[in-house]
């Protein structure tokens, strides 16, 4: 994980994800790319909000410049290499553009709008659309220790398999790796936990398979409680195995895990 793309936006999770990016860069001898997206200075032709957007742009630009100045002053005192990219446009488009040459994207679990801190729709879109894994960082996270135990949320799905493969470079640093399977959470897939453990073994990673009982509070509760009971520092999970529309209507494990996550979550779709 040498190329670390860090989403810069002034939301409640910013400090946490900056610290995680720094910790990850130190542990992996990596480089942090700070990406700040600033809204365009013009509106869409015919858009009644175009003039308003044009009037607001100087304020957006000024706030972005102040945020950059503050963060650059902090990074100047850190022992990692970094650079800064400031581009006009929507954050989703800018992140997807630069994801192609990044090993991981560090994003916050907070919504971009202040005051709405329960779920980041942006992080969900990036996790689904990018070919690069996303590390979702909760507001309360003060650091990341990649040598801590790691828990893999395993249900045998293609998404879980991709997340497991993508996380191998980080899991090679972990003291212990647990493959957590919730009883009854593998009805559609044929890959048992032993297949995941065998794959990891070929990469020199010994994984302990753990079957968790169903919780009355759902799969999320079972996984989080299982991870915490094993002192996991972070969780690996496949993102959005169902269609996104079905997730929005019915809810799902991905959305529930990404809503106010108890631990950092490594996501791949």
**Per-residue pLDDT, 51:** 55
% residues pLDDT > 70 (the chain): 85
Whether the predicted pLDDT of 79 surpasses 90: yes
Tell me: pLDDT of 52 over 60: no
> What's the distance, Cα to Cα, between the start and end of the chain in Å?
18
Listed in sequence order, the DSSP H helices in the chain are 14-28, 50-75, 91-99, 121-129, 158-166, 168-171, 193-201, 219-229, 244-250, 253-258
pLDDT of residue 189: 64
Record the pTM. 0.88
For position 214, what pLDDT does the model report? 86
Q: Which residues of 25-42 are buried (b: 16+ CB within 10 A; e: fewer)?
A: beebebebbbbbbbeeee
Cα separation, 263 vs 29, whole angstroms: 23
Ordered by where they begin, the domains of the chain are 3-137 (3.40.50.620), 150-268 (3.40.50.620)
How far apart CA 44 and CA 28 sit, in angstroms, is 43
146 pLDDT higher than 90:
yes
Q: What percentage of the chain reaches a pLDDT higher than 90? A: 67
Q: Tell me what pLDDT residue 250 has.
A: 35
Structure tokens at 14: 């910013």
Contacts of 198 (CB under 8 A, 6+ apart): none
């Amino acid at each position: 994980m040498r190329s670390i793309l860090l989403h810069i936006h002034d939301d409640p999770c910013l400090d946490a994800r900056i610290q995680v990016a720094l910790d990850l860069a130190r542990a992996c001898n990596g480089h942090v790319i700070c990406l700040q997206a600033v809204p365009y200075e013009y509106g869409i032709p015919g858009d009644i909000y175009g003039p308003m957007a044009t009037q607001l742009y100087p304020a957006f630009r000024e706030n972005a410049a102040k945020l950059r100045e503050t963060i650059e002053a902090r990074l100047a005192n850190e022992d990692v290499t970094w650079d800064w990219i400031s581009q006009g446009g929507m954050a989703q488009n800018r992140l997807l553009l630069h994801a192609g040459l990044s090993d991981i994207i560090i994003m916050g679990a907070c919504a971009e709008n202040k005051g709405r801190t329960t779920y980041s729709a942006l992080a969900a879109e990036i996790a689904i659309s990018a070919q690069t894994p996303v590390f979702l960082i909760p507001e309360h996270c003060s650091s990341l220790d990649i040598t801590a135990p790691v828990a893999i949320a395993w249900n045998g799905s293609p998404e879980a398999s991709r997340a497991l493969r993508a996380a191998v470079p980080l899991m090679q640093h972990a003291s212990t790796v647990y493959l957590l399977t919730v009883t009854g959470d593998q009805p559609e897939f044929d890959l048992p936990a032993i297949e995941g453990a065998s794959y990891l073994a070929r990469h020199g990673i010994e994984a302990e398979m753990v079957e968790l009982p169903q919780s009355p509070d759902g799969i999320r509760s079972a996984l989080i409680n299982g991870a915490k009971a094993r002192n996991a520092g972070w969780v690996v999970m496949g993102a959005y195995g169902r269609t996104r529309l079905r997730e929005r209507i019915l809810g799902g494990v991905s959305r529930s895990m990404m809503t106010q996550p108890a631990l950092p979550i490594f996501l791949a779709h």
